[in-house]
Structure 1
Amino acid sequence: MEKFILAIDQGTTGTTALLIDRQLRVRGRATVDFPQHFPRPGWVEHDPEEIWFSVQQAVRRALQNGHIKPGALAGIGITNQRETTLLWERSSGRPVANAIVWQCRRSAEICEELKNRGLEERFRQKTGLLLDPYFSGTKLTWLLRDGPELHRRALAGELAFGTIDTFLVWRLTGGANHVTDVSNASRTLMMNLEDLSWDEELVELLEVPGALLPEIVPSSSPYGQTRGLEFLPDGIVVSGMAGDQQAALFGQACFNAGEAKCTYGTGAFLLENTGEEIVRSQNGLLTTVAWQLGGRTSYALEGSAFIAGAAVQWLRDGLGVIPAASDIEALASSVPDSGGIIFVPALTGLGAPHWRSEARGTISGITRGTTAAHLARATLEGIALQICDLAGAMGEDRGQPMVLLKVDGGAAHNNLLMQLQADLSGLTVVRPSMVETTALGAAMLAGLGCGFWTDVAALSAAWSEERRFLPQMAPEERGELLDAWHRAVLKA
């Protein structure tokens, strides 16, 4: 019987299940959305049971769509929205509160409190992260402070903490395994980058009882087997896990130091593999674990642009410039340049390397000759220019410039955006044959963990590119545009 790997990509707005064969081809696919909950301005929650229902439905439909029997599954890989935080009862597996989503800002005061105590550099040195509500640790602090009874139960060992990967493994294995992989643990503000263990000092500073925490495990390893599920038979090994951006880096076959990928979604995430070296950024980037595989740990530098595809959505929904997001390429291609327009898409502040939450979007250079096409092209340039800043910061941190960038995500289908990215950054941009690299990375890790593939060389041989975009812009023109961009960013 032909065997497959099931990849569960549990994202912010929905869950995708993919069935991957040995040649890295998708043989079944399904996506199931679930609701977002906004109890107050700036607060974002998910109902964990709604997430679990979406996982079950996505897996069922992917198997049906691929005409594949559950018994043909050799292993399961999980990738997930990374910092989303939840608590559940160990005895029943029931959540005790809604999950606090990575986008939620409710723990901002806790972050400020820790900064005012002079602790930010200690957290940064130990974890590679900033003290920001984005990360899991302060969300967990908030949950325990807000519910004194939860804190009591946590101390008594009655509750379990996890990010989404941990919760899914718990549910898939019938509560037998309470684990998180190193890539997800590295996003909690509680894991020490040096020894890959929960840091006792940081855990104490965040007021987290140690009994809550899962075991930290490699990204590719047999964690447990399915048990007691209605939608899958018992005994399928769960053998791969990584946070979404790290999974995309692995799915892009960026196995070696210096290899990088950018995922273009609502925002954009650029990660560069730094190998076994922990590179501590001097340029506003995050240091994170990429994965642990075969006893070796790979690290990465990460930079995020808060707004990428969301800028195109704003043109569509806020301004009515285009009827559909896919129409931007044709409109922007109808003019040879942006006519001097510079759009800084800081619609929710600026992320790395600037970290200016107070920044707001600006559009400069408007004249009577400005058209909707110029604005559309400037929007694509603004997305690409943010990535140029991140790539430049990574080059400075590593002491050597980036030369090639692999791309994925929905906006990577936009040929003009990819050409602009190559032109403005001076990088060769490579688009893979399979752009759903987040789920692919989870499948690849799981397949290595259960013996479906023998080594990364087998994966490299199966990975393929669809198109390359080479820089075509003259260096002088590129320099002028970058200078104009940096002047505009200062005014945002």
Structure 2
Amino acid sequence: MAGRSLILAIDQSTQGTKALLFDAEGNFVEKASRPHEQHVNEAGWVEHDAEEIMTNVLACSRDVCKKAGVEAGEVRAVGISNQRETCLAWDRERREPLARAIVWQCGRAKGICDEMSAREGVADRVAELSGMALSPYFSAAKLAWLLRNVDAVSAAAEGGTLALGTIDSWLVFKLSEEHAFATEPSNACRTQLLDIRTGAWSPELCDAFGVPMETLAEVKPSDSVFGHTTMGGLFAEPVPICGVLGDSQAALAAQSCLNPGDTKATYGTGSSVMMQTGSELKQSQSGLVSSIAWDFGGERSYVLEGNLNYTGATITWLKDQMGLIESPAEVEGIIAGANPADRAYFVPAFTGLGAPWWDTEATGLLTGVTRTTGRAEMVKACAESIPYQIADVLDALRADTGLEVGELRADGGVTANGYLMQFQADMAAADVVVSSLNELSAAGAGFVAGRSAGLFDHNVIYEKVERRAFKPQMSKADVAAKRDGWHLALKQATTR
């Protein structure tokens, strides 16, 4: 008889894959991770190899179980969180991808959205049904691009073997003994093909984008049993995959943001700033999007959300493309040596701007450069673009809901930077509460899977995580001056 009851939580994110183990008391046990290659061509198209991702999921699962000394039968449930909007096409008979996955950052489908916008009333109808402004950011236009431009995809559609889906549905399909073709609402709504009010695929939206509805996965509640897996022979007996959430919603669950007004920010490659609105669907007048938080046992919860394309990825750019830092861990120390009076601002519009601006033509901009601007000041300007962007989204959330965001629950790699978290508290005029566990998306998947498998009945993982708080300290006049400078830089970078 196995000695422990463990949950294996997979977080398949933009930069790589993590596998975490939690026990039935909510304690973090062990972690393993592996990066995958970012395929970016001269046009700026961003792609992932779906088979490499699948290989890494299995490898991470093997690695973490080995590190933790897991014995047969101890893993009782598997949960999955995943990068949203990234999508791919595969052949259901051959079980192989038909092209690389198109990453959420990729704007190649802009022309399709422009075509649709030119047709009277289409953009408004897409926004009304999906809860989201028509944009190449979401999966639908990407899937339409694959159908139009990849011969193997259109051929599989004609032959009746085509599967179109987000990363969660790909992993469930490949991992499950049943070859289950299923997704859940937090991911499905981000395709822009789901009717956000009914939680079902919309024939009207599918027709507008030219995506055959029969190529899409079954939409099941987020805490369903999606299938059973041995994780490529790692387990002697199949274990249920019984919790799936998009990474941002998984972090929301891990942060125990269950009541209307509860707000979190995930600092990943990009950032999701998300407010729980409960059973009430709220539609934004301020450039945000409505999404489904999750469906637990047939009960749907909604959120308002602002998505930012480049937050943590800006730090990666400083390291990999610019060579200004050797490691993200250096950033806080470099900023400490910067001239505090320097007036440089950086707008990270590498592939346009997301919420609340929605300008696909915007380009990156470094402005306010003077003779005092050197390496430290440039690093500081780039890093500060992260809390500036999130503060703008929080303002939009306040405007849309009338709720005062007094606390922002934060997670992700950037939260290790104490300077940026204090700057965030100042710019946002809110307490920033940082979780000691960076892998909140995996923790959310673990919470849902553990509850679904009957290992616990509430969020014991949240109860075990330590937190530290940053409170606003800067004067209102200084905050206003800094944000005015940021908004001037934004105006220079945008086309609207």
Indicate the TM-score class for this superposition, using the shorter chain for normalisation: over 0.9
Greater CA drift, 404-413 or 69-78: 69-78
Match of residue 136, structure 1, among 107, 119, 139: 139
**TM-score, length-normalised on structure 1?**
0.93
2:484 counterpart residue number = 483
Match of residue 19, structure 2, among 17, 26, 31: 17
Letter in 2 for 1:325: P
Residue pair 1:93, 1:175 contacting (<8 A) in 2 also: no
User: CA offset at residue 2 of structure 1?
Assistant: 1.0
1:179-258 counterparts in 2 under 5 A? 179-226=182-229, 229-258=232-261
Greater CA drift, 364-373 or 26-35: 364-373
| Alpha-carbon distance in 1 for matches of 2:379, 2:152 | 52
| Alpha-carbon distance in 2 for matches of 1:82, 1:18 | 19
Greater CA drift, 52-61 or 349-358: 349-358
| Alpha-carbon distance in 2 for matches of 1:207, 1:138 | 9
1:473 counterpart residue number = 474
Residue pair 2:61, 2:231 contacting (<8 A) in 1 also: no
Letter in 2 for 1:298: S
The answer as to 2:122 corresponding to 1:122 is: no
| Alpha-carbon distance in 1 for matches of 2:422, 2:230 | 48
User: CA offset at residue 292 of structure 1?
Assistant: 1.0
Residue pair 2:443, 2:461 contacting (<8 A) in 1 also: no
Greater CA drift, 36-45 or 118-127: 36-45
Residue pair 2:58, 2:231 contacting (<8 A) in 1 also: no
Match of residue 407, structure 1, among 407, 410, 416: 410
Residue pair 2:15, 2:269 contacting (<8 A) in 1 also: no
Match of residue 438, structure 2, among 427, 435, 438: 435
Match of residue 160, structure 2, among 139, 157, 160: 157
Match of residue 352, structure 1, among 347, 351, 355: 355
| Alpha-carbon distance in 1 for matches of 2:366, 2:451 | 48
| Alpha-carbon distance in 2 for matches of 1:248, 1:228 | 24
| Alpha-carbon distance in 2 for matches of 1:352, 1:222 | 34
1:279 counterpart residue number = 282
Secondary structure at the aligned position of 2:421 is classed as helix
Q: Cα deviation per residue 1:11-42 (whole Å; 9 max; x = unaligned)? A: 22321111111343321211122333346623
Q: Cα deviation per residue 1:219-263 (whole Å; 9 max; x = unaligned)? A: 112222226932233331110001111111112121221111111
The answer as to 2:299 corresponding to 1:301 is: no
| Alpha-carbon distance in 2 for matches of 1:385, 1:172 | 40
Q: Cα deviation per residue 1:357-390 (whole Å; 9 max; x = unaligned)? A: 3333334444434454444333333221111101
Letter in 1 for 2:50: P
| Alpha-carbon distance in 2 for matches of 1:422, 1:365 | 24
Residue pair 2:19, 2:61 contacting (<8 A) in 1 also: yes
Aligned length: 490
Letter in 1 for 2:254: G
1:87 counterpart residue number = 89
Secondary structure at the aligned position of 1:120 is classed as helix
Q: Cα deviation per residue 1:149-204 (whole Å; 9 max; x = unaligned)? A: 64454355323222111111112222442110100100111100100000011112
Residue pair 1:226, 1:233 contacting (<8 A) in 2 also: no
Listed as ranges, the gaps of 5+ residues in structure 2 are none
User: CA offset at residue 288 of structure 1?
Assistant: 0.9
Give the aligned CA root-mean-square deviation in angstroms. Answer: 2.2
1:418 counterpart residue number = 421
Secondary structure at the aligned position of 1:121 is classed as helix
Residue pair 1:85, 1:101 contacting (<8 A) in 2 also: yes
Greater CA drift, 188-197 or 116-125: 116-125
Greater CA drift, 187-196 or 111-120: 111-120
1:31 counterpart residue number = 33
Q: Cα deviation per residue 1:268-294 (whole Å; 9 max; x = unaligned)? A: 221111111111111111111111113
Greater CA drift, 34-43 or 406-415: 34-43
The answer as to 2:87 corresponding to 1:77 is: no
Secondary structure at the aligned position of 2:30 is classed as strand
Q: Cα deviation per residue 1:453-475 (whole Å; 9 max; x = unaligned)? A: 1134x455x24332100111112
- Say if 1:161 and 1:423 are closer, same or farther in 2 by CA, change over 3 A: same
- Say if 1:370 and 1:295 are closer, same or farther in 2 by CA, change over 3 A: same
Residue pair 1:338, 1:375 contacting (<8 A) in 2 also: no
**TM-score, length-normalised on structure 2?**
0.92
The answer as to 2:166 corresponding to 1:174 is: no
Match of residue 391, structure 1, among 381, 389, 394: 394
| Alpha-carbon distance in 1 for matches of 2:488, 2:362 | 14
2:4 counterpart residue number = 2
Greater CA drift, 123-132 or 39-48: 39-48
| Alpha-carbon distance in 1 for matches of 2:152, 2:77 | 38
Identity, in percent, stands at 40
Secondary structure at the aligned position of 2:354 is classed as coil
Residue pair 2:91, 2:156 contacting (<8 A) in 1 also: no
| Alpha-carbon distance in 2 for matches of 1:312, 1:345 | 10
1:43 counterpart residue number = 45
